[in-house]
Amino acid sequence: MKKFFYGMMLLTLLLAACSKDASQQQETEKGKKQPAEPKQEEKLANEYKPKEVKYFDIKMPDRELSEMEKELLRYPGKYSGDQYDEEKVKEALDQLPEDLTKEEYMEELKFLLTEDYHKEMETLLNFNSNVDVSVDRPDETVNIPGMRTAHYAILIDASGSMNASVGGKTRMQVAKEAVLEFAEQIPENATISMRVYGHKGSGSDSDKKMSCSSSENLYSGRFEKSKFNQSLNKVKPAGWTPIALALEKVKEDIPENTDDMIVYVVSDGIETCNGDPVKAAKDLVTSDIQTVVNIIGFDVDNEGQKLLENVASAGNGEFTYVQSERDLKRYLRAQYEEIQQAWLDWKEEGKAKSLEIKEEKKALAQSTKESMKEKSTREKERMKLAREYLKERFDDYDHPTRQLYSDIVDYGNEKWQYAVDTGNLMWRESVDNGNDEWRKFVDEGNKKISETIDKKNGN
């Protein structure tokens, strides 16, 4: 009985001790500081936030851009181009969470390493492959600037002596043929007038006053062959030779806004009406309009040659003495040779400029292409290095960074291919357009040269 009692006492003491130890342990645990549950705001703050993609605002073509073109206008990465620093790139990569998706890691690489293509894209998107060359066409006359407004005044001697024969034709017939042939060479943008003098009355003393006061404009305006020929046919040899009067009256034939005037006086003799053609020629030259007076003399004597030479000299022109139709043709042939050379120079200048512009555009297309190729290759290689670093950092076979390689390669190759395709297209268009423009100058120049040769040879 005593043993049972002592046993119950011992059990009671043991239970009390255990209860006390548990109580003390609970008190100790209560005294320890337990970690607090993160607040909801802190959870949101620590979540990954994709960065905002920005694009360059450039002059855009009148079409919608492709996805790759848009991508090439993305702002460059923080460590792109000359800003690249491998250690700093690694430091930035160390800040990335380990639980991003493959696409999110790719975006982070773009924000760090994307190259700046916007200058090249601005060039390619607005590339003008046209080759347009502007060279002033020859005016087909001597000493006349193509851009100035020119007027050609032809003064025809209708004195009775123009009815004399020269090589089976009258001087007037030869003169008319020469005048018509020369008028056909007048530039399209120029004007022409035809004035006759001494065409009234006769060579008699009784008609001298009337004849010496006769000078009439028979044609004025743009050259139209049929109308000009009709007016030319009205000229008949008749009276005296008032050269000075014709030079004075020609001022009335000049259109407004004329810059240059070229006067051709066709005559077979001296002034016979007591006028002063040398003074009249000087007065023309000293006017506001740049003027040249050329004289074509038919079978004139020594006195006539001297006078006509003085008139030409006073008019800053030249005197050409012709005794026959052959001499006149020779004179005009020399003029045509200068016109022929002018067309040759025009053709060569156009060819040279076409080639120059073509080469400039080819070089621009080529350099732009090569620049983009270089940048895309550099960008791809740097992204591949960054991906290797991430792969080592996240040493997990299933980690998304292990799947980035093909995305990086494809991304870089697409940019490289765009540069090649677009640059080559611009290059080819520049070549074709430049060749077309070059050919235009060759074809038109050769045609004009051929026409001039035919006229020079009397064909």
47-100 tens-digit pLDDT: 778 888 999 988 877 888 999 999 999 999 999 999 999 999 999 999 999 999
Smallest Cα–Cα separation from 244: which of 161, 315, 298?
A: 315
> Encoding tokens for residue 139?
């005016």
pLDDT of residue 288: 74
pLDDT tens, position by position, 93-142: 999 999 999 999 999 999 999 999 999 999 999 999 899 988 888 766 54
Q: What is the pTM of this model?
A: 0.52
What Cα–Cα distance (Å) separates residue 107 from each residue in 53, 77, 401, 415? 9, 11, 12, 16
Which residues lie closer than 8 Å to 196 by C-beta, 6 or more apart? 155, 156, 158, 215, 216, 218, 234, 235
Distance CA 273, CA 244 (A): 8
Q: Is pLDDT above 60 for 42?
A: no
Give the mean model confidence (pLDDT) for residues 329-336.
Answer: 70
Q: Would you place residue 298 in the very low, low, confident or very high pLDDT band (cuts 50, 70, 90)?
A: low
Give the mean model confidence (pLDDT) for residues 300-328.
Answer: 69
CB 79 within 8 A of CB 85: yes
pLDDT tens, position by position, 1-33: 444 444 445 445 444 544 555 455 544 444 444
Give the mean model confidence (pLDDT) for residues 401-427.
Answer: 94
